[in-house]
Amino acid sequence: MEQQVDLSVEIAGVTFSNPVIAASGTFGYGKEYAGMLDIGALGGICTKGLTLRPRQGNEGARIYETPAGLLNSIGLENPGIPAFIENELPGLKALGPNVIANLSGSTAAEYAEGAALLAEAGVDMIEVNISCPNVKAGGLAFGMDCESAALVTRSVRKAAPAVPLMVKLSPNAPDLCGIALACVNAGADALSLVNTFKAMAIDIDTLKPVFENIHAGLSGPCIHPIALRMVWEVYEALGRGSLPRVPLVGIGGIANARDAIEFLAAGAAAVEIGAATFAHPRAMTEVIAGIAAYLKEKNFSTVPDLTAHCRT
């Protein structure tokens, strides 16, 4: 008899039809990809980073390709949370996959206010991006130290007590595992990792940095093995303490099913796919099919079987 495969996964009480989610900032509000892939087949869609007030984003170059990756410096261009709720959320919900609102802010109070609006509007989950500059602390990202990461998590948790809360970790933090534990202790129901790596490029014609902010975020295949190591280590750290083992969502350089399966084996409950969609819009649906085929081939019936097999 042919092995039946159940691709569904549960993250923080939310059921996803499969473990593949479009990563924030790489899938617009979904409608931009209409006709290019079967959007309804995705497990979830993370929105572009949303802030309370509209943001124009950065001047100058915003995207730059490297041999095995992509640098970006978009600067959180978005219409603001109230306009998102009014103009984008209804269409996004109608697409089918779970809607995960990616939330940014410059102060903990701004995060909290935004979270309350998004929760009231009925998003399925909030993904708190703590990689953006903490204005009160002089521009350092909230995700760089345990105290600031916990402060934002606690503020969002308090403002939106019922919404499933996932905190997205920055790979640039000096103590990633410490920050992961601090976020769980402060009320995160899940963690996603990683965001982009701080990097840069220089234009050798002008001999000036390509990006106006000098630094940009690196993503794509070049970061995959490092991101995988980070998921492995955070999974391990969560098993050591007395805190709940919250689900992890692995992100970083996934281009095919094999890359995704590595994350699921390392301890991730699901994955997000970003840069790959730019080069190949159907990458995500091909990854879903590839995971299903792999589970069948290996005689596994569910996605968590992968983690169980690798991590015990």
Q: Say which residues have a Cβ less than 8 Å from residue 188's Cβ, sequence separation at least 6.
A: 128, 153, 157, 165, 166, 167, 246
Residue among 123, 223, 265, 268 that touches ligand FMN (CB under 6 A):
223
DSSP letter string, 7-49: --EEETTEEESSSEEEPTTSSTTSGGGTTTS-GGGSSEEEPSP
The yes or no reply on residue 26 touching ligand FMN (CB under 6 A) is: yes
Instruction: Estimate the crossing angle of helix 304-311 against helix 257-266, to 10 degrees.
Output: 60
CB of 129 to ligand FMN, least distance (A): 4
Nearest to 281 by CA among 72, 69, 38, 95: 38
Q: 76 vs 112, which CB is nearer to ligand FMN?
A: 76
Q: Which is nearer to ligand FMN, 19 or 252 (CB)?
A: 252
Per rule CB under 6 A, count of chain residues that contact ligand FMN: 26
Site for ligand FMN in 267-296 (CB under 6 A): 273-276
The nearer residue to ligand FMN, 76 or 119, going by C-beta atoms, is 76
With H, G, I as helix, E, B as strand and everything else as coil, classify residue 296.
helix
- Verify binding: residue 106, ligand FMN, rule CB under 6 A: no
Whether 169 and 192 have beta carbons less than 8 Å apart is answered as: yes
Q: Residue 30 or 253: which CB sits closer to ligand FMN?
A: 253
Which lies closer to ligand FMN via its Cβ, residue 19 or residue 253?
253
User: Which of positions 231-260 make contact with ligand FMN (CB under 6 A)?
Assistant: 251-254
State which H helix or E strand residue 101 sits in.
strand 98-103
Distance of alpha carbon 71 from alpha carbon 269, whole angstroms:
27
Determine, following the binding rule CB under 6 A, whether residue 61 of this chain makes contact with ligand FMN: no
Residues with Cβ < 8 Å from 235, sequence gap 6 or more? 248, 266, 267, 268, 311
Give the torsion through C-alpha atoms of 55, 221, 203, 28, to 10 deg: -20
Asked, as a colleague might, if the bond just before 194 is cis with ω within 30 of 0, I would say: yes
Residue nearest to ligand FMN (CB): 25
Contacts with ligand FMN, 134-173, as mask; x by CB under 6 A: ----------------------------------x-----
- Nearest approach in angstroms of CB 169 to ligand FMN is 10
- Is-catalytic flag, 146? no
Nearer to ligand FMN, 291 or 300 (CB): 291
Establish if 196 lies at the interface with ligand FMN (CB under 6 A): yes
Q: 207 and 196 in contact (C-beta within 8 Å)?
A: no
Contact pick of 19, 25, 43, 250 for ligand FMN (by CB under 6 A): 25
* Residue span binding ligand FMN (CB under 6 A) among the ranges 6-14, 18-26, 85-93, 180-188: 18-26
Residues 68-97 that bind ligand FMN (CB under 6 A): 70, 72, 74, 76
Minimum distance from residue 7 beta carbon to ligand FMN (Å): 20
Taking the C-alpha atoms of residue 33 and residue 77, their distance in angstroms, rounded to an integer, is 18
> Among residues 19, 43, 44, 49, which is the contact residue for ligand FMN, using CB under 6 A?
49
How far separated are the first and last CA of the chain, in Å rounded? 28
For 2-38, b/e burial (b = at least 16 CB within 10 A) is eeebebebebbebebbbbbbbbbbbbebbeebeeebe
Residue among 132, 146, 177, 222 flagged as catalytic: 132
- Interacting residues with ligand FMN (CB under 6 A): 23-26, 48-49, 70, 72, 74, 76, 102, 129, 168, 195-196, 219-220, 223, 251-254, 273-276
The catalytic residues are 132
